[in-house]
Structure 1
Amino acid sequence: MRPNPHPGNAVRAVAALGLAWSILSAPPARAALPLDQIRLPAGFRIEVLSDDVPGARGMTFSPAGTLFVGSRGEGKVYALPSPLAPNPKVRVIASGLTMPVGVAFRDGAIYASSTSRIVRLDNIDAQLDKPPKPVTVTDRFPTETHHGWKFIAFGPDGYLYIPVGAPCNICAPDENRYANIMKMKPDGSDLQVVARGVRNTVGFDWHPATHELWFTDNGRDWLGDDQPDDELNRATRTGEHFGYPYCHAGTIADPEFGKQHPCSAFVAPVAKLGAHVAALGMRFYTGKQFPAEYRTNNVFIAEHGSWNRTERSGYRIVRVVLDENGRAVRQEVFAEGWLQGGKPWGRPADVQVAPDGSLLVSDDMAGVIYRIRYAP
């Protein structure tokens, strides 16, 4: 065999093949998100905090500043230490759970929902790189996965609040078991019903001044494109009934169950949010980064978006302004643009006020945590 008169060509050829292989074998680059399509009030801007949180749902902070995020389809719980720093690193601290949508922090531990169970990971901020195995706090909840995912949060009374959705679109299940909001002590004891007639809430918060429980509720399907509305509700005492399955949105008697009880027998919603918008996470704004008009009696709600409406609705963040008596005086769109030409590229799932007063938004479709701040 004759020697190659141009050995440099061979070297360059091998290098080119290596480069080509590295390009072909490298993971695909993430497509840039079209944040320029998001419309906000004047002076606000949105940015991506992290695009590495698949199925991102419920959010909560630890006192140390770690952001914990649940997920629905992925079965994972994520942690982002120093999330407001550039390029925060995402850690998976639990996996193999069943729709761990909800996360809540107390006494050094992160609690996560897993359909029929609530699990806990102790001393978690000190073990993010090598997290402990989840410990089951209780497994007393139903196993049905229809509306079985659970947003959770600790209330001002120190109890963990846990919703149990209706195991159907419309039915009349045991009200002490389904279609309610429950609470229990952190160790799983003293489980009790707080509110009944709640079809499926995936977001709640407490008024910062009155400490009353407020929550969203998803209306039933198959009554048409324009009814019933999703709801924003206010619980003023334990044991109130909010209508399901007899009455929807305060005024619509159910075709099957409505004759059993009039709508006047139930607590009416504070605000009607629109049909099929899928109102999920909600928070009172408690920060100081936004202008003064946003700092008192303002509720932000993530609308995940419709799935069976002829013309899609939702896919946005809305703002509900309350008066000093807890009445809704104004409702407006705060952020929209995830729906373009009838097709969504993102679905807001939860909102969370960050320690610096910015507003975080989880997006389970894009696998993203956004940050909205006022920066005129």
Structure 2
Amino acid sequence: MRIRFWHPAAIASAATFFLTSFGVAAAEKGEIFLDKLNLPEGFKIEVYAKDVPNARHMTRGDKGTLFVGSMREGKVYAITDKNGDQKADEVKVIAEGLKLPTGVAFRDGDLYVSAVTSILRLDDIESRLDNPPEPVTITEQFPDKHHGWKYIAFGPDGWLYVPVGAPCNICDEKDYANIQRLKIEGDKVVKTETWAEGVRNTVGFTWHPQTKALWFTDNGRDLLGDDTPPCELNTAPVAGKHFGYPYCHAGDIVDPEFGEGKSCSAFVPPVQKLGPHVAPLGVKFYTGEQFPAEYRNQVLIAEHGSWNRSNKIGYRVTMVTLNDKGEATAYKPFIDGWLQGEENWGRPVDVLVMPDGALLVSDDYAGAIYRVSYEG
């Protein structure tokens, strides 16, 4: 088994790049420049909530509360719109001191939170926003490794789906690089199954509104150049499929370190190759009725943006258009402008379709949630 981990110097170089290129003060200020954003004709974008530091993944409670994980802040936020004007009235901290709590999922009145090794639960949370309960630990079964932060979501089958990212840039290590599902009863996990393998690091997945098949984004490996490999949009309608990592990338690129003797035809290719190093995270099918008909049941992806490419790409929300067979026919920007030249003022993380058909977009760089609506 060969393992290639990040060299400490590379990590330090990346950190220095971020600090010197964008400045600590600019990152903390969270300046928002809506006039820099480009949307299709008829669409409008507004700030739904600001002062949500490091806003990551989102879920919505039965009573309309928006819950947001905040990975680097160690906090979970509850955002309320009490007067129904489509703007947040209050942002509350309902949990803090957690380890990278990026993922949030809501079921039966309770909020589930991912915290690297653990899945936690805040019981009856929407009735207790002003006096939130102590988190209940459901499990601590996950490893504390690189790519340990987790997007989580309940599937149509009632199981909680949880990714286990590769503990490296590129390596072949057992029990990593997969998507698992957990059957939870009461305060315990009673069964764990592996749903998909060969998934380097998915930080966003969803289910097709008609077929109920699982769809997910996957972040491609680094250090093969600016344009190799593409990131991926995949679908796993049944359990047991292998998507190639670390042997094959994007369906047809044999890995130079781990691909010897392997054929890419043995693995499931992506539905759509995304931009190289765009870091696709949150993904949702548009299921609302507010947007024009051509958006219905199409795929919207938050691309967080490249960090080690010579020229930055990503920093946008894209749409993958599917035909009736579920085949991709187009991949193009839906919203861009968070990247201006080589400077970015925002980084999209997640997307969420609201009951009125508007789309929320979280931004962990500007610490904001945006609302996208269609006015025709």
Specify the SS of the correspondent of 1:227.
coil
Aligned residue identity for 1:317: V
Preserved CA contact (<8 Å) 1:278 1:305: yes
Aligned residue identity for 2:147: H
Residue 31 of structure 1, CA deviation: 6.7
Aligned residue identity for 1:58: H
Partner Cα distance (1:151, 1:92) in 2: 19
Question: Which residue does 1:110 correspond to in 2?
Answer: 111
Residue 137 of structure 1, CA deviation: 0.2
2:361 matches 1:341: no
Question: Which residue does 1:318 correspond to in 2?
Answer: 318
Residue 259 of structure 1, CA deviation: 1.0
Question: Which residue does 2:65 correspond to in 1?
Answer: 66
Specify the SS of the correspondent of 1:125.
helix
List gaps (5 residues or longer) in structure 1.
1-28
Partner Cα distance (1:344, 1:79) in 2: 27
2:180 matches 1:182: yes
Question: Which residue does 2:209 correspond to in 1?
Answer: 208
Partner Cα distance (1:208, 1:82) in 2: 27
Decide whether aligned partners of structure 1 residues 312 and 155 sit closer, same or farther in structure 2, where only a CA change above 3 A counts: same
Partner Cα distance (2:226, 2:88) in 1: 41
Deviates more, 1:306-315 or 1:83-92: 83-92
Partner Cα distance (1:178, 1:327) in 2: 28
Preserved CA contact (<8 Å) 1:246 1:260: no
Preserved CA contact (<8 Å) 2:80 2:88: no
Aligned residue identity for 2:216: F
Aligned residue identity for 1:265: A
Q: Deviations over 1:218-252 (max 9, x none)?
A: 00000000010000001121010000000001110
Residue 189 of structure 1, CA deviation: 1.8
List gaps (5 residues or longer) in structure 2.
1-27
Partner Cα distance (2:294, 2:326) in 1: 16
Question: Which residue does 1:269 correspond to in 2?
Answer: 270
Residue 341 of structure 1, CA deviation: 2.0
Normalising by structure 1, we get a TM-score of 0.90
Specify the SS of the correspondent of 1:267.
coil
Decide whether aligned partners of structure 1 residues 374 and 245 sit closer, same or farther in structure 2, where only a CA change above 3 A counts: same
Preserved CA contact (<8 Å) 1:289 1:356: yes
Specify the SS of the correspondent of 1:293.
helix
Partner Cα distance (1:215, 1:87) in 2: 29
Higher relative contact order, structure no. (Cα contacts within 8 Å, ≥ 6 residues apart): 2
Aligned residue identity for 1:290: F
Partner Cα distance (1:312, 1:168) in 2: 22
Aligned residue identity for 1:120: R
Question: Which residue does 2:352 correspond to in 1?
Answer: 352
Partner Cα distance (1:43, 1:99) in 2: 37
Q: Indicate the structure (1 or 2) with the bigger Cα radius of gyration.
A: 1
Preserved CA contact (<8 Å) 2:349 2:363: yes
Question: Which residue does 1:38 correspond to in 2?
Answer: 37
Preserved CA contact (<8 Å) 2:30 2:367: no
Decide whether aligned partners of structure 1 residues 139 and 321 sit closer, same or farther in structure 2, where only a CA change above 3 A counts: same
Question: Which residue does 1:94 correspond to in 2?
Answer: 95
Question: Which residue does 2:13 correspond to in 1?
Answer: none
Preserved CA contact (<8 Å) 1:65 1:355: no
Partner Cα distance (1:234, 1:214) in 2: 4
Question: Which residue does 1:125 correspond to in 2?
Answer: 126
Preserved CA contact (<8 Å) 1:67 1:80: yes
Specify the SS of the correspondent of 2:294.
helix
Decide whether aligned partners of structure 1 residues 39 and 54 sit closer, same or farther in structure 2, where only a CA change above 3 A counts: same
Preserved CA contact (<8 Å) 1:250 1:263: yes
Residue 355 of structure 1, CA deviation: 1.4
Residue 32 of structure 1, CA deviation: 5.2
Partner Cα distance (1:87, 1:121) in 2: 22
Question: Which residue does 1:234 correspond to in 2?
Answer: 235
What is the root-mean-square deviation of aligned Cα atoms in Å? 1.3
Normalising by structure 2, we get a TM-score of 0.90
Partner Cα distance (1:325, 1:77) in 2: 39
Question: Which residue does 2:154 correspond to in 1?
Answer: 154
Partner Cα distance (2:70, 2:198) in 1: 26
Partner Cα distance (2:152, 2:212) in 1: 16
Preserved CA contact (<8 Å) 1:49 1:88: no
Identity fraction in percent: 60
Partner Cα distance (2:144, 2:233) in 1: 27
What are the equivalent positions in structure 2 for 1:42-53 lying under 5 Å apart? Answer: 42-53=41-52
Number of matched pairs: 344
Residue 291 of structure 1, CA deviation: 0.9
Partner Cα distance (1:233, 1:173) in 2: 22
Residue 339 of structure 1, CA deviation: 0.4
2:306 matches 1:306: yes
Partner Cα distance (2:261, 2:76) in 1: 42
Partner Cα distance (2:32, 2:351) in 1: 19
Partner Cα distance (2:290, 2:65) in 1: 19
Aligned residue identity for 1:196: E
Preserved CA contact (<8 Å) 2:184 2:191: no
Q: Deviations over 1:299-348 (max 9, x none)?
A: 00000000000000100000001111110011111000000121100000
Question: Which residue does 1:139 correspond to in 2?
Answer: 140
Q: Deviations over 1:57-95 (max 9, x none)?
A: 110111111110011100111111227534420011111
